[in-house]
Amino acid sequence: MDFAALGRAPLRLTAGARRVTSRDLQIVEATDALLEEDVPEPDGVAQSVSLLRGFNATIPSADKGRTRRRQTRNVDAPKMGLKRLGMSARGMLADEDDHESVVSEDDVVLVGSVAGKKAKGKRRGRQSLSASVVFGRDELVRQTHEIQRDKENIHVRRALLNNEIVEVTHKIEALDAIRTKLEQDLLRLQEDELELDDELEGVKERLELEESRTRSTKGSQVASHLQQSSRRRKGPAFLPSEHDELPHGVAFMSLEGHSSPIAALDFSEPYGTLVTASQDDSQPRVWDLMSGEELGRLRGHRGTVKCVQVEDMMCLTGGDDGNVGVWDLRRVDEDDDWERDSEVVSLSDVAEEDEGVDELGMRRPDVNGSIRQGMSTPSSAIEKDGPCIRLLEGHTKAVTTLYFEDECLVTGASDKTMRQWDLTTGQCVMTMDILWAISHPPAAAPGTGLPNHLFPGAAASAGSFAVPTPPYSDGSWEMYQDFVGAVQFWGYALVSGSGDGAVRMWDMRTGQPHRTLLGHTAPVTCLQFDELHVVTGSLDKSIRIWDLRTGGIFETLKYDYPVTALQFDTRKIVAATGENGLEVYNRTSMQHSRLLTNGHAQPAERLRYMDKYLVSGGRDSMVKIWAL
Amino acid sequence: MPTELPYAADAEVSLSYDELEVLRTQYQKELAQSHVTVQTKFNYAWGLVKSPLREHQVEGVRLLQEIYRAEPTRRRECLYYLALGHYKMDNYEEARKFNSLLMEKEPTNMQAQSLASLIDKKVARDGYIGMALVGGVAAVSALVAATLIRRATRR
């Protein structure tokens, strides 16, 4: 029996019916939950300023002392109507105010009396206001104590305010962090949108292809040319399902075989066929990317192969010997037989080369290019057996860059010219002379001699072009002799990057350059353009992004070492910038990152990617395949 | 350093209506800005608890509970104020719970000890009243029973 509860009952009953509100219940219910909670040691402000002290410092009556003291200092002076003065000075005095308060009637400046006093001539100085009020000693002591207390109150209030400020600052910081995260999310959305745009284009292409296929009655017309070349295709590639499981940014496959730095590479599609060429080797190797095995080699060149492009099963190579080889990659294994009967076999090769000849059997090293020279019949445009369909001759010096699409090919060579070829006939259609373009700039400048904005060491009208490259990250450098570093065309528009650092835009119908983009201070080594931008990389350690229409520079990315290769799409630029790791620049978030995991041991020099599949070649003679 | 707390007598002294109004306005102004400082809330809550009106006390205790929940560093002080609030509202059980938790944390606190004794006194007084009531009821029922029995036996 709880007597206490019983005892309370009469009081409750007699003291009037009181509704038990929800608040009452709320309080009582919450009690138990609250008691569970942890009660830590108070620290910080809670320790220095207790709630009670804060209460006493901040309640309105805390100010009582001050007002009291002010009142004690109030002197009884004749009414001067100061309030009225003040209000009229502020321009707020209205007619109604006259009738409002009784007090205001007295608030009239008694000008008359003052003036009267003066007129009487009595020059008695007015007493100081403070003279009329006398404070006793007790009063003064009391005021001292009061003021001390007020000062302590201020100290308390200051502590409270400081604490509040600190808390609010923390909140602001937290909110700022949230905001930056949201902004990053926005950027990521933008990137996704660009990716979707590309995918849409790819799907549209396929749709057109399908429609044309169903429309065409002649089944023999293979619509292979309706599909855009791999360089212009934007949609995502077809990849084996396992590719998604690969870790991002890791080189999952390495192809060994070359013994000198990789000079050029290209592949037909992810997990398709890869062709690589290295510096001291005149035979590019053909690999199967699905298995990582070497399928064969392309024999036909006499010097280093400096540029390669692969489209489906057709491959074009340009070499130091000034020739362009056209190859059918489907016939690579047939080449085997052709070689076997040659004298080469009987030579020391048998003793030399190494590991087992597999079923595709042809790891025949071609150590002596000169011997082979005797074998091949150096005549132009002969249909050969084996992978080589055709050999295009015409350039007098090394072919350093090429680009072909459908039946049109453009090559750039160290003889400072560019040639346009028709691949069906194998004939050179046009020759564009860069030297001529340099000395006759399209702008209305009275150009006699070299324009002086080109860097010294630019091509002289005669003589060979050789510029020492700045050292790569491992210190190595070489003499760069490719006058035409890169070409690309689309329809009639051709863009070339050359050794004088200029990027020229040509009209292939006339063979004349109509615009020159100046900015690089060293030979241009690589370039690519799409509908909006031209991106160029050069030995001056920079990548420049130009506006295709106006020729103005959008952005310049600076690096520590010369840029030797690049490729871009709407979202990123992947470049070989003279370091072991490949540089990936995210165009929406403007972030740089490097591909390093299981990467090259020496600077990477060449690269090509399609969708999430990247192939890179480096000075360490290794070819690495990455999942982006 | 023991927490600075007011004696229970302080809770019986209420603020003037104007002062409470000022505190309420300040609290509501800060509410409108959606940033209420602990001090303002406490000022208002303590002003309400000191008031003689029961609705005020209830509201005051509710605000104190909010402070308790939100500010871990202030919890120890709040224990005392909550105990005091419940004591004024005659919720002796809750008051005792809060106060004993406080005394666990701070055994030497003078105000907590005095509040504890006050609560005990009140509870004891109610107990006596209860006992008296029970005794009275027992006595009356005994009388009624006796009358009934006598009437029955007389028949």
Question: DSSP for A286-328?
Answer: EEETTTTEEEEE----SS-EEEEEEETTEEEEEETTS-EEEEE
Interface test with A, best of B39, B65, B92, B110 (most A CBs within 10 A): B39
Nearest CA in chain A to B129: A7
8 Å CB contact between A396 and A415: yes
Q: Given this model, what pLDDT does residue A237 score?
A: 83
Residue A11 has a pLDDT of 63
Q: How far is B154 from chain A (nearest CA, A)?
A: 37
Q: Chain B within 8 Å of A170 (Cβ-Cβ)?
A: no
pTM of this structure: 0.68
Q: How far is B144 from chain A (nearest CA, A)?
A: 22
Q: Minimal CA–CA distance to A605: which of A365, A277, A303, A324?
A: A277
Chain B stretch 87-116, residues whose beta carbon is closer than 8 A to a beta carbon of chain A: 90-92, 94, 97-98, 101, 105
Those residues with Cβ within 8 angstroms of residue A72's Cβ, 6 or more apart along the chain or in another chain: A133, A135, A139, A143
Count of alpha carbons within 13 angstroms of residue B19, beta-carbon side: 21
Round to whole Å and give the CA distance between B31 and B34: 5
How crowded is residue A385: how many other Cβ atoms within 10 Å of its Cβ? 10
Q: How far is Cα of residue A92 from the mean position of the Cα atoms in its chain?
A: 62
Question: Is A92 in CB contact (< 8 Å) with chain B?
Answer: no
Contact of B63 with B51, CB cutoff 8 Å: no
Residue of B43, B69, B127 lying closest to A55 (CB–CB): B43
Question: What residues of chain A lie within 8 A of the CB of B105, using their CB?
Answer: 39
Please answer whether residues A402 and A323 qualify as being in contact, where contact means their C-beta atoms are separated by less than 8 angstroms: no
What tokens were used for A574?
């992947």
Measure in Å the smallest separation between the Cα of A103 and chain B Cα atoms: 25
The size of the A-B interface in CB pairs under 8 A is: 144
The beta-carbon neighbor of B101 closest among A8, A28, A35 is A35
User: B154 at the A interface (CB within 8 A)?
Assistant: no
Q: How many CB atoms lie within 10 A of CB A540?
A: 21
ipTM entry = 0.77
Q: Does A36 touch chain B (CB under 8 A)?
A: no
Return d(Cα A397, Cα A481) in angstroms, integer: 11
From the candidate CATH numbers 1.25.40.10, 3.40.50.1390, 3.30.70.260, 3.40.50.620, the one assigned to the domain spanning B8-153:
1.25.40.10
Which pLDDT does position A99 carry in this prediction? 47
Question: What residues in A contact B22, CB-CB < 8 Å?
Answer: 59-60
Contact across the interface for B39 and A24, Cβ inside 8 Å:
no
Question: How many CA atoms lie within 13 Å of A546's alpha carbon, on the beta-carbon side?
Answer: 25
Nearest Cα residue in chain B from A18: B54
- Among A34, A49, A64, A164, the strongest candidate for a mutation testing the B interface, having the largest count of B CBs within 10 A, is A34
Among A residues 50-79, those touching chain B with beta carbons less than 8 Å apart: 50-55, 58-61
* Cβ–Cβ below 8 Å for B76 and A42: yes
Residue A60: per-residue pLDDT: 77
Question: Contacts of residue A58 in chain B, CB cutoff 8 Å?
Answer: 39-40, 43
Which of B40, B76, B131 is nearest residue A3 as measured by Cβ atoms?
B131
State how far the Cα of A608 lies from the Cα of A270, in Å rounded to an integer.
10
Answer yes or no: are the C-beta atoms of A469 and A562 closer than 8 Å. Answer: yes
Which residues numbered 9-28 in A keep a CB inside 8 Å of some CB on B?
A: 9-11, 18, 21, 23-24, 26-28
Three-state DSSP string of B12-72: HCCCCHHHHHHHHHHHHHHHHCCCCCHHHHHHHHHHHHHCCCHHHHHHHHHHHHHHHHHCH
Calculate how close chain A gets to B17, using CA atoms only, in Å: 12
pLDDT above 50 (res B17): yes
Of A18, A21, A52, which has the smallest distance from its Cβ to B5's Cβ? A52
Across chain A, which has 628 residues, the per-10-residue mean pLDDT values are: 68 60 77 76 71 79 81 79 85 57 48 46 66 80 89 89 91 96 95 93 90 73 58 81 88 92 93 92 91 89 92 91 91 57 38 40 41 40 62 91 92 92 91 86 51 48 74 85 91 92 92 91 94 94 94 93 94 93 93 92 93 93 93
Torsion of CA A169, A174, A176, A181, to 10 degrees: 170
CA distance A623 to A146: 87
d(CA A482, CA A322): 12
- The per-residue pLDDT for A608 is 94
Q: Do B105 and A39 touch (CB under 8 A)?
A: yes
Whether B94 sits inside 8 A of A28 (CB atoms) is yes
Contact assignment for B39 to A30 by CB distance below 8 Å = no
State whether B77 and A50 contact (CB < 8 Å): yes
Question: From the CA of B1, how many Å to the nearest CA of chain A?
Answer: 8
The predicted structure's pLDDT at residue A226: 53
A540 Ramachandran zone, left/alpha/beta (phi>0; psi -120 to 50): alpha
Q: Does B25 touch chain A (CB under 8 A)?
A: no
Domain boundaries, chain B: 8-153
For residue B57, list chain A residues with Cβ-Cβ distance below 8 A.
Answer: none
Cβ of residue B128 closer than 8 Å to a chain A Cβ: yes
Residue of A nearest to B100 (CA): A35
